[in-house]
């Protein structure tokens, strides 16, 4: 059946309804509050049960699984627009945290591929790229899963989208659960500096609804409503940057048949071009960063609810055993990284900063921020600031790991092995740099901290 604009309206209305139901349940159900589960994820589970993969009650169109590929382009396009550049002063003392953040990113890719090629493929007939599922979901989250899922669909491995989204969902929920266990352990061991027991989170964080006296503006009006609505102005910028990414991707593939650059990568590049144009024309004051973040955040929520609602349970079922092993391996890897690296790579507040990175490496930055908030309610550890900075610094590495391994693995033969070895080599080089520069001092606490 032909897809129409009314189908688009119907799909987005249903996704919106699912998110509203998710928020209602988050506000009312203690379990969801204790898990700090995003409303979009709760709504996604409802959509999975009532949608095409479940009881098929909700009349979604057959395009539901494709929305995530478009939405992730918008998310990446928004990333640089309206953002401030960092200064040399910002970089002081950030080396250890850069290694915490970037090291686990590279290790998840390298170790995940090694596990799949060296162990899992001995028992199951898996795609050569199965090993990328761990890092795609855990460090990357639903956004990266959507991006790589769209890429792999064009490369003949459409199941990767469902595997990646499953990994992201498990990583997000498991990261919070395991993170809270680590926090309870850390407070008993007196590792925390700002609380003696897990801090009770404010009601608005647990329930997700903000009382009137604590509500804040979500952004600044930079365009007069008498001329143009400010939100539409910012949305137009974001959509145009995402569109440029799509045009560039199609153009490159039309000229070079074997080269397929994902739209989200070129949307990010377009976002930087737009930001450069804004600076050149000296119009920064009219582009509100907070509004761009709201557009990005809204796109991410829609991405999550649509991705989870459209999961193919058959794909998950047929890969359940290797997925389970991969997820257990991932959690163990992240816990050991927290204990062996985070502990010895911060000059102060190692636990508070490390638990933020732990949450971030299991799902999204928001997970890490929430865990950090439990042990650092007044944000004194500078974990949030340094996370934003290191995410900016390692973005080229993250993008390269998302784009290049699938491309080389697709060549077949020995290329999956060579790709894995190159990723391990990159991780080892970064680790040597961290040791030489004393970003990481194994077995030796930095500053005046005790073990």
- 1 within some domain: no
Task: Specify whether 23 is located in the same domain as 153.
Answer: no
More confident residue, 291 or 150: 291
Q: What is the pLDDT of residues 136-150, one digit of tens each?
A: 999 998 988 988 998
43 shares its domain with 100: no
Q: Given a cut of 60, is residue 90 above it in pLDDT?
A: no
Query: 52 and 69 in one domain?
Result: no
Residues 358 and 417 in one domain: yes
Contact in structure between 435 and 345 (CB atoms under 8 Å):
no
371-429 pLDDT per residue, tens: 888 888 877 887 777 777 787 788 889 999 998 999 899 888 999 999 999 999 999 99
Residue range 9-22: mean pLDDT, rounded: 98
Q: What is the DSSP string of 118-175?
A: HTGGGTS---TTGGGHHHIIIII-HHHHHHHHHHHHHTT-THHHHHHHHHHHHHHHHH
Q: At what angle do helices 350-360 and 383-393 cross, to 10 degrees?
A: 50
Same domain, 167 and 24: no
Q: Has residue 273 been placed in a domain?
A: yes
pLDDT of 253 reads: 84
Q: What is the mean pLDDT of the segment spanning 280-287?
A: 95
Question: pTM of this prediction?
Answer: 0.86
Are 42 and 132 within one domain? no
Task: Please say if the pLDDT value at position 446 is more than 80.
Answer: yes
Same domain, 179 and 133: yes
User: Please, which pLDDT band fits residue 22 given cuts at 50, 70 and 90?
Assistant: very high
How does residue 265 score in pLDDT terms, banded at 50, 70 and 90? confident
Residues 370 and 263 in one domain: yes
Q: Is 81 found in the same domain as 57? A: no
What pLDDT does 92 receive?
A: 65
Q: Give the distance, in angstroms, between the CA of residue 380 and the centroid of all CA atoms in the same chain.
A: 24
Q: Record the tokens describing residue 361, joined without a space.
A: 């490496």
With 80 as the cut, is the pLDDT of residue 299 above it? Answer: yes
- Nearest CA-CA partner of 252 in 239, 240, 270: 270
Answer whether residue 139 is part of any domain: yes
Mean pLDDT, residues 263-278: 92
* Mean pLDDT, range 15-38, rounded to an integer: 93
The percent of residues in the chain predicted with pLDDT above 90, rounded, is 64
292 burial level (CB within 10 Å; 0-12, 13-18, 19+): buried
Q: Are residues 101 and 125 in the same domain?
A: yes
Name the least confident of 174-188, 230-244, 337-351, 355-369.
355-369
Pair (20, 112) in one structural domain:
no
Instruction: Judge whether 95 lies within some domain.
Output: yes
Helices (H) and strands (E) in the chain, counts: 20, 0
Residue 427 lies in a domain: yes
Are 28 and 131 contained in the same domain?
Answer: no
- Compare 362 and 19 and report the one with higher pLDDT: 19
On the question of pLDDT at 93 being above 80, the answer is: no
DSSP 285: G
Helix (H, G, I), strand (E, B) or coil at 11: helix
Range of the domain at 423: 63-200+228-436
- Tell me what the pLDDT averaged over the chain comes to: 91
Number of domains present in the structure of the chain: 2
Evaluate if residue 56 carries a pLDDT over 70: yes
pLDDT value at residue 91: 64
Q: Pinpoint the alpha helices (H) of 376-444.
A: 383-393, 395-409, 415-436
Determine the Cα angle at 93 with ends 90 and 99, to 5°.
105
Q: Are 367 and 175 in contact (CB under 8 A)?
A: yes
In a domain, 442, yes or no: no
pLDDT (mean) for 154-168? 92
Mean pLDDT across 358-369: 84
Q: Averaged over 32-50, what is the pLDDT?
A: 92
Residue 303 pLDDT > 70:
yes
Backbone angles phi, psi at 384, to 5 degrees: -65, -45
The 10s digit of each residue's pLDDT in 189-221 is 888 888 777 666 788 888 989 999 998 888 899
Range from 20-29, 350-359, 380-389 that averages highest in pLDDT? 20-29
């Amino acid at each position: 059946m032909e897809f129409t604009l009314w189908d688009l309206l119907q799909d987005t209305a249903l996704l919106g309804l699912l998110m509203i139901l998710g928020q209602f349940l988050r506000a009312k159900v203690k379990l969801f509050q204790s898990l700090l589960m995003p409303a979009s994820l709760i709504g996604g589970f409802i959509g999975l049960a009532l949608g095409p993969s479940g009881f098929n009650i909700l009349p979604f169109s057959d395009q539901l699984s494709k929305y995530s590929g478009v939405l992730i382009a918008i998310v990446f396009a928004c990333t640089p627009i309206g953002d401030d550049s960092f200064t040399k002063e910002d970089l002081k003392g950030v080396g250890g945290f850069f290694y915490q953040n970037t090291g686990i990113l590279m290790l998840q890719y390298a170790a995940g591929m090694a596990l799949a090629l060296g162990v899992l493929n001995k028992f199951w007939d898996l795609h050569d790229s199965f090993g990328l599922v761990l890092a795609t979901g855990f460090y990357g989250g639903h956004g990266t899963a959507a991006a790589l899922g769209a890429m792999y669909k064009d490369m003949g491995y459409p199941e990767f989208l469902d595997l990646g989204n499953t990994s992201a969902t498990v990583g997000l929920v498991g990261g919070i659960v395991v993170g809270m266990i680590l926090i309870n352990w850390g407070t008993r061991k007196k590792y925390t500096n700002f609380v003696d027991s897990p801090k009770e989170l404010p009601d608005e964080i647990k329930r997700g609804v903000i009382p009137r006296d604590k509500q804040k503006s979500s952004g600044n009006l930079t365009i007069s409503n008498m001329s143009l609505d400010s939100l539409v102005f910012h949305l137009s910028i974001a959509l145009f940057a995402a569109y440029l990414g799509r045009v560039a991707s199609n153009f490159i593939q039309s000229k070079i048949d074997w080269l397929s650059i994902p739209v989200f990568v070129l949307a990010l590049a377009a976002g930087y071009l737009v930001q450069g144009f804004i600076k050149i024309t000296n119009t920064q004051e009219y582009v509100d960063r907070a509004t761009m973040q709201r557009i990005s955040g809204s796109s991410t929520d829609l991405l999550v609810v649509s991705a989870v609602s459209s999961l193919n349970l058959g794909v998950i079922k047929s890969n359940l055993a290797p997925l389970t092993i991969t997820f257990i391996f991932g959690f163990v890897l992240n816990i050991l990284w927290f204990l062996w690296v985070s502990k010895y790579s911060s000059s102060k507040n190692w636990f508070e900063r490390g638990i933020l990175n732990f949450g971030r490496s299991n799902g999204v930055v928001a997970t890490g921020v929430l865990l950090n908030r439990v042990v650092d309610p007044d944000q004194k550890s500078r974990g949030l600031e340094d996370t934003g900075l290191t995410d900016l610094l390692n973005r080229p590495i993250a993008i390269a790991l998302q784009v290049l391994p699938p491309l080389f693995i697709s060549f077949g033969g020995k290329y999956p092995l060579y790709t894995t070895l190159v990723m391990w080599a990159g991780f080892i080089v970064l680790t040597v740099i961290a040791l030489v520069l004393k970003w990481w001092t194994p077995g030796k606490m930095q500053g005046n901290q005790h073990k």
